[in-house]
Structure 1
């Protein structure tokens, strides 16, 4: 444990990473100073030696060594202090991808699949997606804490072209895009998704009532704070519709510019590529286009970079969908039915997610989680995609393509 880093602990919280943060019972200490912990039952002091070892005392008496196992609880609370993508156990993870399955026969509309760097592919989540122990809820805990306690040194931007009530739907001049960023001055997350009216403003109602029927995707990445200057510029290119935000004045001005909605490209180029490295060292690429790009995100932009024919998955109830396209350098085939590991094959009319996956099994194994559909009107709106060449992610998405639309002769 390094000098100068605060540590937090609560003797009551076995599930420390959630409880300590949610209830706000946090002490602070460093390597050279004792940490006083205010508990509902006792007051403890943790002494951290210069070597990094610790000793734990009840005020006025030596603590039973057997109870030192509770130090693990303290360590959990320490890790909970950072802004990170989190799994269902509340543990920090570098990134994850979620796929909420659609309701089939009016059942199982809150079941979701989970994948991070440790799973090697899809695994069924243990909790419904609207549960307070879901990966989404665990990840968003710092946001809900801020709503309650107005935590300092914390910023966030919620954007959604279909925001929750009482906010109005964005005009078509804004990007067809949904997501959020939140950060302190050490780390932060970018969560991009496809879900209308998400998120709500407290942990008991963060999932929208409208979110049961259709399939949805989420991608979460954990990044150093320094990455969010460039991430903010990507959001400016997409011209996201920020419906709620708080950015401290000492945070990057590019973030405040996104909140003000007045920052977007004024000259060419109308697209932008951002190579990103997550906190854990994994590579992601963000592709963004402004409305004046005037082309499809998939056949007009991603096709230039993925270097392979690919399947593109859009919402299946579009007014004027674009057909599969074999006239571009690398053919783009529209997915028509999907089969998740937990479902029978189903039509994309039940699935609101947006993603694409390359067909090349040797050199170009790309998967992109996007926020746009292949629709004529969306050629003239901002949007983007976050792409990864992770082989396990690629295999997981390729496997769920059941049928696709061939190109017209």
Structure 2
């Protein structure tokens, strides 16, 4: 569609041909007649008379001003090609002076089109269903397309686009030279607009083989933020997925109709999706399957071309009208949605039961089918099982059955069996508190808890930290101290549990936790001050000697994809890693995590770094991580933290007689907080408190400090700042 005569003939900037199995003409949808599918004007085997014969006229034959780039995992005339890609397409441009015309065709036909040797449709492909899409674009947009294709690693079988046309297009150069992505990002999105009246937006999502993301759930759902309906060949393992509200994957029933032409998933080579709600249609180059040719699809490159156009969406959404019933994992999914956020009255063993504040709830009879005996839910825990059922935090970690706000409930022995859902196969625990802070003063057993859903004051810890359940950090560490098939972690501590006489310059203590469940991008990072804690996979145990001391524990839920930024900061401080079972497949493309896991130390600058992450929440909290290695001669408070924050800081820390407060630089003071102080109504003092932290003046920064080879985890959240700033009300004179 870059040739002048072609534009005159077609007068269309976007054309779609969908050929059902055993159909030789297929159904045609053009941008100037989008109201319905029309019959193809000629057989696709003919070299004239149908749109794609015209569109490809200057690909299969010579034209002095039309050059092109063609890719196909089954290229015409080249046998036994080995490639991970499934991509097929052609990029065309006009080299005529003063012309900025181009076209991009994506399709599903192997061995097609042959370059410069005449039009020929592969005879074996008539029996199969195929989809071809032609988009006219500006030539200047092909670098954005190339950036996406480069990650999908296509097999290029022809290219005569001169370098003079692509000067200043580095991604096209990489694509043309057959380079593959070796550094992040391994998953990207790019956007282009089609030429013509009412330019249509096209978003291109792609992932390389180094990305471990499953294309449909991890890339497309996350990009579109909508439910998707999928037409694809499928295996017996990967089903529809309705676990996440408004982020479902629904499988379209087969057979289906393209207008009045039948198609079926077994014989149709095309893979496509529509969004719910509209108006997105996506051409996918990989099927929705766990494995492809006996390899995990997560290790395969893939690409999606998503067109935001109501008329195209409407045609494909009609095909997608029928959903498979077995998409739904839950017992009663519609009922689950109707119950969201309500009080739900149920009957269990003829006793009445009211479930308060359940985000997604089954009636009790159904809930029983999911449970394991004799483990009552505690309100301090948010539990999400593999069906997406979530019980949100309500109050301070009381037993579901005995809490005083439930006067209608019978005693636990009578009701029994509404249980921890996270003990179910494939389930995982998550704190609904996207950030939780436990500050335990010296000689205090329970400590004070600050949760992101109730940040206005410190609350008493619901149970002693020595107890293996009922308090937030026992719950957060359940799958660290005990086994879980889908939870893996890396733990570090300068005084590791059960490892005597460790010599390390680090003072750092923490745990990085991830979920390895398919389609999940969940993680957590816990930083704390407790030596010998937590023991890995051997049961919960709080060190008895540490109850007499003050300790601070902070849990942040993050996306798994952010752990490389965390690792980049941690390698500077050289932590002692005492446990790591995170598989390399989860951290592919994370070079800093690899260094951390292998115990590498920084030998070249920079020896001081800053990294930023966000918590996983509807209102994400910014966290900035400042770290310095032993090779850096900077003092962490003055040279790193004050310089970065550009504010006065108030410091809570054990201190020597040499390092005093420093008020020499206006608005860059270091003020020491007076000791003793109060955490709510719990006392603490610098002599017995193992924690080091600061608040900024003015706010709203709170930083957890690890020293002497130091790291600062700085949280930019007004509510957290306010609680610690109240502790820091009194400062010593400079």
| Structure-2 residue corresponding to 1:25 | none
| C-alpha distance after superposition, 1:233-284 (max 9, x if no partner) | 111122111012212121215434312212x322222111111111112211
Classify 1:53/1:179 alpha carbon distance in 2 versus 1 (closer, same or farther; 3 Å). Answer: closer
Secondary structure of the residue aligned to 1:269 is coil
Distance in 1 separating the partners of 2:703 and 2:337: 44
- Structure 2 residue aligned with 1:307, among 642, 646, 649? 646
Residues of 2 paired with 1:369 and 1:50: CA distance?
44
Answer yes or no: is 1:322 the counterpart of 2:659. yes
- For residues 102 and 308 of structure 1, what CA distance do their matches in structure 2 show? 30
Checking the alignment, whether the CA contact within 8 Å between 1:160 and 1:196 is kept in structure 2 is yes
Q: Secondary structure at the match of 1:285?
A: strand
Residue matched to 2:612: 275
Corresponding residue for residue 634 of structure 2: 295
Partner of 1:32: 326
Alignment equivalent of 1:68, drawn from 352, 363, 369: 363
CA 405–64 in structure 1, closer or farther in 2 if over 3 Å, else same: closer
Residue aligning to 2:384? 79
Counterparts of 1:36-51 in structure 2 under 5 Å?
Answer: 47-48=331-332
Q: Secondary structure at the match of 1:351?
A: coil
TM-score (norm: length of structure 1)? 0.73
The structure having more radius of gyration, on CA atoms, is 2
Distance in 2 separating the partners of 1:335 and 1:202: 39
Q: Is the 8 A contact 2:481 2:539 kept in 1?
A: no
Shift of 1:179: 0.7
Q: Which residue of 1 aligns with 2:669?
A: 331
Native 8 Å contact 1:31 1:50 kept in 2: no
> Residue 311 of structure 1 contacts residue 332 of structure 1 at CA under 8 Å; is this kept in 2?
yes
Which SS does the other structure have where 1:212 is aligned?
helix
Partners of 2:631 and 2:537 lie apart in 1 by 37
What's the secondary structure of 1:276's corresponding residue? strand
Change (3 A) 1:165 1:242: same
Q: Following the alignment from structure 1 to structure 2, what is the Cα–Cα distance between the partners of residues 203 and 293?
A: 37
Aligned residue among 228, 231, 234 for 2:569:
234
Indicate whether 1:141 and 2:483 are aligned: no
Summarize the Cα distance change of 1:265–1:246 in structure 2 as closer, same or farther, 3 Å threshold. same
C-alpha distance in structure 2 between counterparts of 1:129 and 1:403, whole Å: 29
Aligned 8 A contact 2:487 2:514 in 1: yes
Query: What is the CA RMSD across the aligned residues, in angstroms?
Result: 3.5
- Paired with 1:133 and 1:78, the residues of 2 have a C-alpha distance of 13
> Closer, same or farther in 2 for the Cα pair 1:275/1:341, shift >3 Å?
same
1:223 aligns with 2:223: no
Question: C-alpha distance in 2, partners of 1:290/1:238?
Answer: 5
Once residues 349 and 31 of structure 1 are traced to their aligned partners in structure 2, the CA distance between those partners, rounded to angstroms, is 64
More displaced stretch, 217-226 vs 160-169: 160-169
8 A Cα contact 2:241 2:327, kept in partner? no
CA distance in 1, matches of 2:548, 2:627: 28
Offset, 1:325: 2.1
- Report what 2:433 is aligned to: 93
Structure 2 residues without counterparts, runs of 5 or longer: 1-226, 229-238, 244-323, 339-347, 353-361, 372-376, 398-428
1:163 to 492, 496, 502: 496
Question: Does the Cα contact within 8 Å between 1:367 and 1:387 map onto a contact in 2?
Answer: yes
The residue number in structure 2 matching 1:57 is none
Q: What is the aligned partner in structure 2 of residue 27 from structure 1?
A: none
DSSP-derived class of the 1:392 partner: helix
Pair 32,193 (structure 1): closer, same or farther in 2 beyond 3 Å: same
Change (3 A) 1:209 1:266: same
Residue 246 in 1 paired to residue 574 in 2? no
Q: Does 1:357 align with 2:695?
A: yes
Say yes or no: does 1:128 pair with 2:128.
no
Task: State yes or no: 1:404 paired with 2:731.
Answer: yes
Deviation of 1:299 after TM superposition, in Å, equals 1.3
Tell me the distance in 2 between the aligned counterparts of 1:265 and 1:164.
26
* Cα distance between partner residues in 2 of 1:94 and 1:190: 11
Cα distance, 1:94 vs. partner? Answer: 0.8
| Structure-2 separation of matches of 1:34 and 1:143 | 31
Alpha-carbon contact 1:237-1:289 (below 8 Å) kept: yes
Mapped pair 1:114 → 2:449? yes
Q: Is residue 503 of structure 2 the alignment partner of residue 176 of structure 1?
A: no
- Of 252-261 and 233-242, more deviation after overlay is shown by 252-261
Partner secondary structure for residue 674 of structure 2 = strand
Q: Distance in 2 between matches of 1:50 and 1:398?
A: 46
Change (3 A) 1:155 1:118: same
Provide TM-score, normalisation by structure 2. 0.42
- Find 1:258's aligned residue among 579, 584, 596: 596
Moved over 4 A (4+): 48-54, 63-67, 70-78, 86-91
Q: Identify if the C-alpha distance between structure 1 residues 122 and 266 changes in structure 2 by more than 3 Å, giving closer, same or farther.
A: same
Q: Which runs of 5+ in 1 are unaligned?
A: 8-29, 36-45, 55-62, 104-108, 373-377
Instruction: Quickly say closer, same or farther: Cα 1:187–1:227, change in 2 above 3 A.
Output: same
**How far apart are 1:70 and its partner, in Å?**
4.7
1:285 alignment partner in structure 2: 624
